[in-house]
Amino acid sequence: MAQTAQERGSRASRSLSQQPAIPGRSQLRLRVYSSLVGVPGLLLMIWLGVPTTAALVSAAAVIGVYEFHRLTIRAGATVMLLLGIIATVLFTVDAVVDFNLSGPLITGTVLAPLLLLVFLPHRERFLADWAWTMAGVFLVGWSLSHAVLIRSLVEGREWLMTVVILTFAVDTGAYTVGRLVGRRALAPAISRGKTWEGAIGGVAAGIIAAVATTIAFDLEIGAWGAVVLGLLVAVFAQGGDLTISLIKRTAGFKDTGAIIPGHGGILDRLDSMIFAVVVLYYYLTKGIGVP
């Protein structure tokens, strides 16, 4: 039997109240160890080439869509998981082989659930279920496919490594400053641990990392171009983090999964990347004209 919104909200509140606000020392240590292994491994995969990057992104996106839809299902929605996975893979494949199918893919992804969900039970939730299906596909699958598009650009290897380093710097800066001097809550209804001071620290870390990384990789965008890049990535990375936090809170879970020790699910680790890779791609191609 379908649960009412009040029952789901009560379950979410109970689940969230049982989660610790701040990880313990052992959990933090596990997160550090995972990062020390995971970040260099990710950079190596990017270094090896476009096919390797595409395979990595496709796998991460499929798992991410699964985690996203699992959360929404537990929150009471009816989503089309198989459609989401197929669309996610096709977005990544199109980014690799350049079939220019993004228009038809987007159209088909939007229309297919409209045709299919209408025949499922609980049609009174039709629009909400359709919206959640679309959210998973575009928030995770379509967004992460831009990582492959970035890798395919001139100096794409360096640019994609740059956005990985920047998002890591933003996360680290926001967390560190927030823990040390954070006082004013940024979005208490979404995440009690995030503060304005931490957000500003994340922006500062992103700008510093952008200047340092573009110099190290000899990416010729100039000092102000690097500052703008760092600012954009920092703002959108933290926006992605808050977006996934909101979805987790709505579903009543602290983590999207448990695939990465100390971090949770794929989306818990890539939440900062989902918007960052999109804004970087269009900043490069439409803003400063990288071919």
How many domains, the chain? 1
Whether residue 169 contacts residue 205, with contact meaning beta carbons closer than 8 Å, is answered with yes
Instruction: Please indicate, yes or no, if residue 5 is contained in any of the structural domains.
Output: no
Q: Is residue 16 part of a domain?
A: no
pLDDT at 14: 41
Q: Looking at residue 76, what is its pLDDT?
A: 76
Could you tell me the pTM of the whole model? Answer: 0.82
Residue 4 covered by a domain: no
What pLDDT sits at residue 238?
96
Residue 198's domain spans which residues?
23-287
Q: Looking at the domain assignment, is residue 240 inside a domain?
A: yes
Give the SS3 label for residue 134: helix
Is residue 278 one of the residues assigned to a domain?
Answer: yes
What pLDDT was estimated at residue 38? Answer: 65
- 17 is a domain residue: no
pLDDT at 56: 92
CA dist 139 and 147 (Å) reads 13
pLDDT along the chain (291 residues), means of 10: 43 41 53 63 84 92 91 79 87 79 77 73 73 89 94 94 94 92 91 92 97 95 94 96 89 75 76 95 85 60
Q: Is residue 15 part of a domain?
A: no
Query: In this predicted structure, what is the pLDDT of residue 133?
Result: 85
φ, ψ of residue 3 to 5 degrees: the values are -85, 150
Q: How far apart are CA 149 and CA 281, in angstroms?
A: 7
Residue 267 lies in a domain: yes
- Give me the numbers of helices (H) and strands (E) for the chain, helices first please: 12, 2
Which pLDDT score is estimated for 262? 55
pLDDT score at 249: 85
Task: Decide if 150 contacts 277 (C-beta within 8 A).
Answer: yes
**pLDDT on residue 104:** 80
